[in-house]
């Protein structure tokens, strides 16, 4: 089945630093999504991308849909303590009914 | 709007006991899903449904059953609880495939 490789698996950064994470796939996706899971909660949708090359921002977060359709990137600028959590990428291809989720990037921010 | 509501939030089961995890959504979504998340791990799909009366297996269906008698509800049944089923269970829904999922806040299950 389809697999998403998300990296890094975890990051421990200083408050104020910028963060980058990415997802790669061996197959093409038509939709890329980024979710954040706060501790003890369910994932919440941050950004949705529907077109190759698309660059979309949500506050300090910026995500890009890779031109090859096989990857996506999420950047967080000027991190703050409330950015702590697990970030999941998810992709959707034409076939099938479900999203494919990456393994998550655990972000820890030191004040 | 409540979104996706899961009950209970926490539960401790003894080995061999059974229970039903409840999930309800009020967004008139056709698609509903059950995932489990083991500590430090990603999401694994257990079962999903594309509409009332239709369910199908996901990646890790063994030990679980589901039903979808209404659009709103998608309960997950554990018949003979095992320690390997200790996990956090998330229900999600979407209006159509390819659209972002709305997740519930999860049920934390411990089997001892």
- The string of DSSP codes covering B11-80 is EEE-TT--EEEEEEESS--SEEEEEEE-TT--EEEEEEEEETTEEEE-S--TTEEE--SSSSB--EEESS
Whether residue A85 lies within 8 A of chain B, CB to CB, comes out as no
CA distance, residue A103 to nearest chain B CA (Å) = 5
The answer to whether residue A55 scores a pLDDT higher than 90 is yes
Q: Which residue has the tokens 């990428």?
A: A89
Q: What integer is the mean pLDDT of B29-57?
A: 92
Looking at residue B95, its pLDDT comes to 87
CA distance, residue B28 to nearest chain A CA (Å) = 17
Mutation target among A8, A97, A104, A105 for the B interface, most CBs of B within 10 A: A97
**Residue A96: band (very low, low, confident or very high) from pLDDT cuts 50, 70, 90:** low
The answer to whether residue B99 scores a pLDDT higher than 80 is no
Nearest CA in chain A to B91: A42
Direct distance between the N- and C-terminal alpha carbons of chain B, in angstroms, rounded to an integer: 36
Between CA A105 and CA A94 the distance in angstroms is: 26
Pick the closest to residue B95 from A8, A48, A106 (CA basis).
A48
**Residue A94: band (very low, low, confident or very high) from pLDDT cuts 50, 70, 90:** confident
Whether residue B47 lies within 8 A of chain A, CB to CB, comes out as no
Contact B60, B44 (CB under 8 A): yes
What residues contact residue B39 under an 8 Å CB cut-off, 6+ apart?
none
* A45:B102 CB<8 A: yes
**Chain A 34-73, residues with CB within 8 Å of chain B CB atoms:** 40-45, 48
Looking at residue A97, its pLDDT comes to 65
Contacting residues of B for A102, CB less than 8 Å apart: 42
Whether residue B31 lies within 8 A of chain A, CB to CB, comes out as yes
pLDDT tens column, B49-81: 999 999 999 999 999 999 999 999 999 999 999
Whether residue A92 lies within 8 A of chain B, CB to CB, comes out as yes
Between CA A14 and CA B86 the distance in angstroms is: 34
Mean of the per-residue pLDDT values of chain B: 94
The answer to whether residue B12 scores a pLDDT higher than 90 is yes
- Calculate what percentage of chain A has a pLDDT beyond 90: 83
Instruction: Indicate the residue of A42, A88, A92 with minimum beta-carbon distance to B98.
Output: A92
Burial degree of B47 (CB within 10 A; 0-12, 13-18, 19+): buried
Q: In terms of pLDDT, which residue wins out, A99 or B26?
A: B26
CA dihedral sign, ordered A94, B36, B41, A73: positive
CA distance, residue A58 to nearest chain B CA (Å) = 16
Q: For residue B54, is it left (φ>0), alpha (ψ between -120 and 50) or beta?
A: beta
The answer to whether residue A1 scores a pLDDT higher than 60 is no
Q: What integer is the mean pLDDT of A14-23?
A: 97
The answer to whether residue A2 scores a pLDDT higher than 70 is no
């Amino acid at each position: 089945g389809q697999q998403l490789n998300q990296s890094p698996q975890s990051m421990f950064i200083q408050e104020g630093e910028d963060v980058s994470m990415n997802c790669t796939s061996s197959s093409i996706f038509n939709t890329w999504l980024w979710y954040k899971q706060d501790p003890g909660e369910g994932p919440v949708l941050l950004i949705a991308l529907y077109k190759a090359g698309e660059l979309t921002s949500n506050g300090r977060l910026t995500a890009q849909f890779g031109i090859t359709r096989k990857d996506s990137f999420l950047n967080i600028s000027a991190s703050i303590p409330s950015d702590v959590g697990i970030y999941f990428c998810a992709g959707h291809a034409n076939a099938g009914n479900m999203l494919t989720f990456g393994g998550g990037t655990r972000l820890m921010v030191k004040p | 709007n409540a979104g996706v509501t899961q009950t209970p939030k926490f539960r401790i089961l003894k080995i061999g006991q059974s229970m039903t995890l409840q999930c309800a959504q009020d967004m008139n979504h056709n698609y509903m899903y059950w995932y489990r998340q083991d500590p430090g791990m990603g999401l694994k799909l257990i079962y999903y449904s594309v509409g009332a009366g239709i369910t199908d297996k996901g990646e890790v269906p063994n030990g679980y059953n589901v039903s979808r008698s209404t659009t709103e509800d998608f309960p997950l049944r554990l018949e003979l609880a095992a320690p390997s089923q200790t996990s956090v269970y998330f229900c999600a829904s979407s209006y159509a495939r390819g659209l972002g999922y709305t997740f519930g806040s999860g049920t934390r299950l411990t089997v001892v």
